[in-house]
Amino acid sequence: MSLSREVSAKKNRFLTRPDTPAWLVQAGDLPNRLFITPAEKELIDLLRKHGELTKNELVNFTEHSRTKVTSSTDSLLKKKFIIENPSTEYSGGRRSRTYSLNSGLVYVAGVEIGATSIHLAVADFSRKIIAQHHEPALVREGPLKILGRVCELLEGLMQHHELNTSHLRGIGIGIPGPVDFSNGTVVSPPIMPGWDRYPIIETVQQWFPVASVVVDNDVNVMAIGEVSQGAGREINNLIFVKIGTGIGAGIICNGVIYRGSNGCAGDIGHINVDKNGPLCHCGNKGCLEAMAGGAAIAERAKAAALDGKSAILLSYYERNGGVLSAEDVGNAAREGDVVSNQIIRESGQMIGDVLASLVNFYNPDMIVIGGGVSRLGDLLLSSIRQTVLGRSLPLATRDLQIIFSQIGQDAGILGAVNLAIDYIFTVETGAAVDV
Ligand SMILES: [Zn+2]
C-alpha cells in the first residue's frame, strides 16, 4: 500500500460531523483529537442537551440495548469524558445514579469579533462560562492586529483564572462577514479590508496548537447559541435575525445550522426592498439593511433632525457633536418623540415584510430577533410581529413565535462555545476501510 493510500485508509476510520471541514480530518491533526465511538458521541450529545440523565433515560433516548449503553458509559467514564453522580433520595423514593459531562475535561473558547468590538469567553466542557472579556476593537484594522489581540486576550484570561492553556481544546470564532465554512476563511467581506481569504485558523493555531479552531459567520454563531442555550432549546426550525448596523439571519433546520452550498445562506440584508432606495455597500440599491438597519435608522433620524422635524432628535444630535445613533432614536422614541417612533415602526415593517416571505417559504417554529438594534425594544418587535402575522399564511403563523433573543448580548460567545464543542471530538468508526 502506498503512503497516500495508507493515509486515506487511516482517515476513513474516523468520522466527524458530516459537515466537518476538510482541515479538521487531516491525518496530521489526529493526535490532538479526542476520540469517541458513534454510540459514545450520541450519549455525549444527549448529556449536552439534558445535563444529567440516568442509565434508564439514556437507554430510552437511544435505540441501543442496555448492554451497549453500559459499555459506552463505562468507556466514557474511563476516559473521564463523563462523571457519575450518586443516587439521591426524594419524596417518591430514590433516584438512580445519573451521568453528566465532566466539566473539567477540557476548556473551550468562544470568540465574537464584531465590526467595532471583540467579545470572548472561556467555558468548561459543560459550557459554563468561566471568564469573559469585552473591549472595543475595529475589525477594519486587519486580521493580524485583531487575531493577535484575540489570542493575547485569551491567553491572559486563562492565565488570570489559573487555567492551563494546553487544556484549551476548541476555539469557536464568529466573524462579521461571509465565511466559507469549508476552509474557515472570510470571502470578499465588505467591511473588513485585509481579511479576504486570510488564514484565520492557522494564525490562531500558532498560539494554541492543540485547539481545534472553527470559524463561522457571526449570525450563524448566534443562531447556534440560541438553540443550544437560549429560547430555541426545544425548537427544530428557527430563524435568528441579527439587526445591527447590518441585517442577517442564521437558519436552524431540524436542529442544526443550515449554511447552504457556500456558507452564505441567510444573508437577508441584501434582499431588495425598494429598487429606488439608497445605495447599499454591496453596490445595489434599496437592500433591506440599507433601508432598515441601524445605520439607516440613524441616517433617517439625522435628516429629520436637520429638517427641523424633531426637536428631541436635534438635541441628541447637538449633544453628541453632530452624530446620531440608532440607540438615540430608541431613547427619543421612549421620550415620546413621534418622528423617532415612526422611523422605528417603518424599519420594523420593512424587516417584517421580508420575514413574512421567509415564513411563507420556510415555515419556522420560531423567529428570534437579536443584535444591537433589537435593544430599540418593544416598538420594533411589535411592528415586526404585526407585519409578519398580517402578511404570512395563517397555517404558517399558527404556532409561530416571534421573540427577542433570550441570551441577548451573550448569543455570540455562547454560540461560539457550542460550535467549538461540536468539533472537538473525532468519532472513530472502527475498522479501517481501504479505498
Ligand atoms: Zn446590499
Q: What is the 3-state secondary structure (H, E, C) of 139-169?
A: HHHCHHHHHHHHHHHHHHHHHHCCCCHHHEE
Q: How confident is the model at residue 281 (pLDDT cuts 50, 70, 90)?
A: confident
Rounded distance from Cα 361 to ligand 1 centre (Å): 21
% residues pLDDT > 90 (the chain):
74
| Alpha carbons 215 and 321: distance in angstroms, whole number | 38
State the distance from the centre of ligand 1 to the C-alpha of 20, rounded, in angstroms: 30
Q: Give the DSSP H or E segment for 392.
A: none
| C-alpha cell recorded at residue 6 | 495508507
pLDDT digits (tens, 9 = 90+) for 23-64: 444 434 444 668 889 999 999 999 988 889 999 999 999 989
H or E stretch including 121?
Answer: strand 117-124
* Burial of 252 (C-beta count, 10 Å sphere; 0-12/13-18/19+): buried
Please report, for residues 109, 123, 133, 184, the alpha-carbon distance to residue 213 in angstroms, rounded to integers and kept in the order given. 9, 15, 19, 9
Distance (angstroms) between ligand 1 centre and the Cα of 286 equals 7
The proportion of the chain whose per-residue pLDDT surpasses 70, expressed as a percent, equals 90
- Return phi, psi of residue 216, to 5°: -145, 165
Domains of the chain: residue spans and CATH: 3-104 (1.10.10.10), 107-224+414-422 (3.30.420.40), 233-406 (3.30.420.40)
CA–CA distance, 173 with 224 (Å, rounded to integer)? 12
In the three-class reduction of DSSP (H, G, I as helix; E, B as strand; rest coil), residue 339 is classed as helix
- Cβ-contact 118, 137 below 8 angstroms: yes
- Ligand 1: distance of its center to the CA of 290 in Å? 7
Mean pLDDT over residues 184-197, rounded?
91
Q: What pLDDT, on a 0 to 100 scale, did the predictor assign at position 310?
A: 95
Q: For residues 202-208, give the mean pLDDT.
A: 92
Which pTM does this prediction carry?
0.87
Whether 214 and 171 have beta carbons less than 8 Å apart is answered as yes
- CA of 289 from ligand 1 middle (Å) equals 7
C-alpha cell of residue 226: 440560541
Q: What is the tens place of the pLDDT at every residue in 65-109?
A: 999 999 999 999 998 999 999 877 676 777 788 999 999 889 999
Question: How far is residue 154's CA from residue 204's CA, in Å, rounded to a whole number?
Answer: 11
Strand order of the β-sheet with 247-253 is 256-258, 247-253, 238-243, 366-370, 401-404
pLDDT at 96: 84
Q: What is the pLDDT of residues 292-314, one digit of tens each?
A: 999 999 999 999 999 999 999 99
pLDDT score at 375:
82
Rg (alpha carbons) of the chain, rounded to whole number: 24
Contact 114, 410 (CB under 8 A): no
* Residues 6+ away with beta carbon under 8 Å from 424: 33, 34, 106, 108, 169, 170, 212
Distance (Å) from CA 357 to ligand 1 centroid: 18
Q: At residue 380, does pLDDT exceed 80?
A: yes
The predicted pLDDT at position 91 comes to 64
State the average pLDDT over residues 160-173: 92
Element (H, E) at 99: strand 98-101
User: Is 240's pLDDT higher than 70?
Assistant: yes
- Is residue 14 within 8 Å of 425, Cβ to Cβ? no
Please, which pLDDT band fits residue 430 given cuts at 50, 70 and 90? low
**Amino acid letter, residue 315:** S
Residue written as cell 481545534? 212
Ligand 1 centre and the CA of 378: distance in Å?
A: 27
Contact (Cβ atoms closer than 8 angstroms) between residue 129 and residue 107: no
Report the distance separating Cα 56 and Cα 434, nearest Å: 38
Residue type, 147: L
Please give the average per-residue pLDDT across 370-382, as a whole number.
Answer: 89
**CA 223 to centroid of ligand 1, rounded, Å:** 22
From ligand 1's centre to the CA of 271, what distance in Å? 7
17: pLDDT confidence band, cut at 50, 70 and 90?
very low
Q: pLDDT tens digits, residue range 244-262?
A: 888 999 999 999 999 998 8
pLDDT of 347 > 50? The answer is yes
Please name every residue paired with 260 in a beta bridge, in sequence order, or none if there are none: none
CA 169 to ligand 1 center in whole angstroms: 37
- Taking the C-alpha atoms of residue 35 and residue 38, their distance in angstroms, rounded to an integer, is 10
